[in-house]
Amino acid sequence: MTLSTNTTTMENDGELREEQVSKGLSNLGLSATGLQHTYLCLSVPGRDLKNVSILCNYIHLQKLELPHNKIKDLSCVSHMPHLIILDASYNQLTDFFGFQAPKNLKEVNFSHNQMSVMKDLSEYSSLTKLILDHNSFSAIRGLEKCERLSHLSLAHNSISRIRGLDHLPLRELCLSGNAIQKIENLQALRKLQVLDLSCNRIQSLSGLHTLYLMGTVNLQSNLISEINEASHLHDLKLLRDLNLLKNPVQEKDDYRLAVIFLLQHLTLLDQQTVTAEEKVSSVNKYDPPLEVIAARDHMTNLLYQLMQPQIIFDSTLPSLDTPYPMLVLTGPQACGKRELAHKLCQEFSEYFAYGACHTTRGPYYGEEDGLDYHFVTEDEFQTMIQTGKFVQTLQYGGHWYGLSRESIERVAREGLACCVHMELEGVYSLKNSYFEPRYVLLIPTAVENYVCCLKARGYYSNAQMETAVSRIDSYAKINREKPGFFDNVISCDDRNEAYMTLKQLVKEYLGVEDPGGDPSSITPDNTSSNSTGELLAADTVNADLTDSYSKNYQNKIQARMTPQRTQAEMASNRREKLIREALNGKSPGAYADLFQRSGPTAPSSLASHSRPTAGPMRPVDLGGPELDELSSSEESRASSGLSMRSSAGVRSAESPTRESDVGSRLNIEPLDISLLGQERDSKGRMDSRLTPDAPRLGSERISPTLPSSPGRPGANTKPVLPPIPSGRKTNDSGSKL
């Protein structure tokens, strides 16, 4: 602190007198660091002084404060070799540093004077702070050698270009109120922390992206009109305070949220604190996490569904307590999910049928409406959303995709499990629903092969391909970080191998032998019937799926499907007839036991012990409530579980052969995908074929009694894997084989 003179008498000629000096003198001072220093200070503010030549005699002054006077000449400073701080603001100085350099001069304030030209300050190498506001400078120059200058202010001058500051160790720079149109030549100011460029004519924020220590940027009252300009500041991780007030960009819709999204480290925007709520809202709006996308999608579809007139018993689908078996193949676009789903449904037609989604994209070559997708217009799709037809939807690659309730029901009415394919968001969305599918992730591990597949299709732009490739990581990350999210993971680098693995997996789920017998025994271009009487396309297994698109994939599929569909239809009709009869009490037959007991809610392969081979069948012990405890809900289940029962994985108690099969199958356990994720990490590639025998870590075992998604409705009451239908086979007379 300095002591100011209280002198009341002042000579009219504006000359500083001895007695004023003596009153204004003080030898107390505090250094900027707060350490006590003894400065020899003179402070004579606001006395209309014009002539301070008397100060030539005060050669020991270290701090001189002469603000708010009318001084035009400061040459006396040349006689103060020890001067450290000089404040000559609000005077009439025209000469910039019009004195010989005091060797240790550190801080100078010449603001509110009449200077117009900066001169070379090479001799002032000790300068740390220079305030030159409200002068008439039109260019910055002469500072090159000021190697300690950390604070420079040239506000309210006539500067139109930023230059002459290269490599200065500036921490604060103020160029407010000039005529600057462009942020330039600041790249080398690596230590800059505070920048004030307010009240200029700046339109773009480019030119700041390398200033990594920047914490505060004031751009109030400029001409910034695009929100995207904020992305130039994206890499400035220490930026906390940004002021864009009075810029045209403020008029943009959602300006604040958008800027907060782009600059998530901000704590102050336009002089207002950025709240945590704003940060969350901005992320949810501009880059919603998959969970949020899925939650919104689920909410939308559920709400629209609930808004429709409800029809009791119009659905064969289960309720919250009775999961309907579905198989969901997921993975990045063009990884072959759809082909594998078709193939699987074809070969396991007694168990699965393909659930075709709706899409607004046009059919690719060879695709058929109703078989691959239901191709609909944008309007039709939106109408379907608003009439509550969808279980989930997704906008992907500019098109809508949606799985309709009817697509699933159509399959459920046949007594079959529905097999669908979808992207990750769809999986998240389904996990919100009352469906409890098994999710099999098909993931490319050889990226080059995958890119080749994408290119081979010839449908996708480079950007689309890049997106698809980048999503591989999303799938891998989730698999790694959320053990149990996918029930199984299969590498799809080789489609044939992938199919064999998938098939093996499904057989384990179902607990069946190969429905097609030994595939290697099937010769191309023939069909044969296997032990169960199913017709199999001859090249089902051996077909080279990798280039199936180019080989008119559709024709092949159709050729294979036609006889089988007939077969499947016959089987379905038989099942439906039997179920109806059973419900009417006419014929207990093959389905009677389905309505008398509670079916297991996870594949028997997960059970830890075998069941008795005869007598009333008990559910596999999954660590859940005992059969007796469940019996109270059985009647209601029986009335609602029309197709669910037939597809609930209940095995026949009357089939010892199958029971013994079950016993031998009890060793088969679900693949340990958490381990697989780790393997992929450590090896860079997953094993292309994942077998149930794959090694696993005991601690990472998936417990069948664990809820698959904690917090999900019903998750605490259901096992992780819902049942796949037992695929009860019937001969023509309807009795079990």
Ligand X SMILES: Nc1ncnc2c1ncn2[C@@H]1O[C@H](COP(=O)(O)OP(=O)(O)OP(=O)(O)O)[C@@H](O)[C@H]1O
Which residue do the tokens 């993971």 mark? 489
Q: How far is CA 425 from CA 465, 689, 709, in A?
A: 18, 26, 15
Q: Which two tokens stand for residue 444?
A: 């490319």
Asked if 245 contacts 259 with a C-beta cutoff of 8 angstroms, the reply is no
Number of Cα atoms under 13 Å in the Cβ half of residue 155: 17
Distance of closest approach, residue 359 Cβ to ligand X, in angstroms: 6
φ and ψ at 243, to 5 degrees? Answer: -120, 115
Q: How far is CA 95 from CA 69, 137, 390, 587, 718, in A?
A: 16, 12, 79, 113, 86
Query: What's the CA gap between 686 and 444, in Å, rounded?
Result: 9
Residue nearest to ligand X (CB): 426
Between 97 and 400, name the residue whose CB sits nearer to ligand X.
400
Between 99 and 460, name the residue whose CB sits nearer to ligand X.
460
Distance of closest approach, residue 488 Cβ to ligand X, in angstroms: 16
Query: What's the CA gap between 127 and 246, in Å, rounded?
Result: 34
Q: Which two tokens stand for residue 708?
A: 């698959």
Between 142 and 366, name the residue whose CB sits nearer to ligand X.
366
Distance of closest approach, residue 334 Cβ to ligand X, in angstroms: 4
- Spatial neighbors of 555 by CB under 8 A, at least 6 apart, are 366
Residues in the chain: 737
Distance of closest approach, residue 339 Cβ to ligand X, in angstroms: 6
Distance of closest approach, residue 215 Cβ to ligand X, in angstroms: 43
Q: How far is CA 603 from CA 85, 438, 510, 516, in A?
A: 84, 11, 7, 22
Distance of closest approach, residue 458 Cβ to ligand X, in angstroms: 12
Between 272 and 496, name the residue whose CB sits nearer to ligand X.
496
Asked if 687 contacts 445 with a C-beta cutoff of 8 angstroms, the reply is no
Q: Which two tokens stand for residue 218?
A: 């004031």
Between 161 and 361, name the residue whose CB sits nearer to ligand X.
361
Between 268 and 446, name the residue whose CB sits nearer to ligand X.
446
Between 221 and 554, name the residue whose CB sits nearer to ligand X.
554
Between 247 and 333, name the residue whose CB sits nearer to ligand X.
333
- Spatial neighbors of 466 by CB under 8 A, at least 6 apart, are none
Distance of closest approach, residue 200 Cβ to ligand X, in angstroms: 48
* DSSP reduced 3-state for 491: strand
Q: How far is CA 446 from CA 465, 486, 491, 492, 580, in A?
A: 15, 20, 9, 9, 50
Asked if 641 contacts 318 with a C-beta cutoff of 8 angstroms, the reply is yes
Between 337 and 597, name the residue whose CB sits nearer to ligand X.
337
Distance of closest approach, residue 611 Cβ to ligand X, in angstroms: 37
**What are the residues facing 43 on neighbouring strands?**
65
Query: What's the CA gap between 658 and 662, in Å, rounded?
Result: 6
Give me the residues that bind ligand X (CB under 6 A), please.
Answer: 333-338, 357, 392, 394, 396, 401-403, 421-423, 426
Burial 206-217 (b: 16+ CB within 10 A, else e): ebbbebeebbbb
Between 163 and 477, name the residue whose CB sits nearer to ligand X.
477
Between 198 and 393, name the residue whose CB sits nearer to ligand X.
393
Distance of closest approach, residue 393 Cβ to ligand X, in angstroms: 7
Between 431 and 651, name the residue whose CB sits nearer to ligand X.
431
Q: Which two tokens stand for residue 670?
A: 């679900």
In one letter, which amino acid is 168? L
Q: 400, exposed or middle or buried, with CB in 10 Å at 0-12, 13-18, 19+?
A: buried
Query: What's the CA gap between 484 and 384, in Å, rounded?
Result: 32
Q: Are strands 390-396 and 41-43 parallel, antiparallel or unpaired?
A: unpaired
Between 351 and 400, name the residue whose CB sits nearer to ligand X.
400
What angle, rounded to 10 degrees, do the helices at 495-510 and 337-347 form? 50
Between 222 and 333, name the residue whose CB sits nearer to ligand X.
333
Q: How far is CA 179 from CA 199, 204, 232, 314, in A?
A: 8, 14, 21, 73
Asked if 482 contacts 676 with a C-beta cutoff of 8 angstroms, the reply is no
Query: What's the CA gap between 637 and 594, in Å, rounded?
Result: 10
Between 441 and 675, name the residue whose CB sits nearer to ligand X.
441
15: DSSP letter: B
Distance of closest approach, residue 361 Cβ to ligand X, in angstroms: 6
Query: What's the CA gap between 733 and 350, in Å, rounded?
Result: 16
Distance of closest approach, residue 471 Cβ to ligand X, in angstroms: 9
Between 30 and 456, name the residue whose CB sits nearer to ligand X.
456
Distance of closest approach, residue 435 Cβ to ligand X, in angstroms: 13
Between 426 and 483, name the residue whose CB sits nearer to ligand X.
426
Distance of closest approach, residue 391 Cβ to ligand X, in angstroms: 9
Between 263 and 430, name the residue whose CB sits nearer to ligand X.
430
Distance of closest approach, residue 426 Cβ to ligand X, in angstroms: 3
Distance of closest approach, residue 324 Cβ to ligand X, in angstroms: 17
Residue among 723, 599, 607 at smallest CA distance from 667: 607
Distance of closest approach, residue 442 Cβ to ligand X, in angstroms: 7
Distance of closest approach, residue 207 Cβ to ligand X, in angstroms: 41
- Spatial neighbors of 443 by CB under 8 A, at least 6 apart, are 331, 332, 335, 472, 475, 476, 479, 489, 490, 491, 492, 686
Annotate 563-619 with DSSP letters as a single string: HHHHHHHHHHHHHHHHHHHHHHTS--GGGGGGGTSPPPSS-GGG-SSPPPSSSS---
- Spatial neighbors of 422 by CB under 8 A, at least 6 apart, are 328, 329, 330, 337, 357, 392, 394, 401, 403, 430
Distance of closest approach, residue 675 Cβ to ligand X, in angstroms: 25
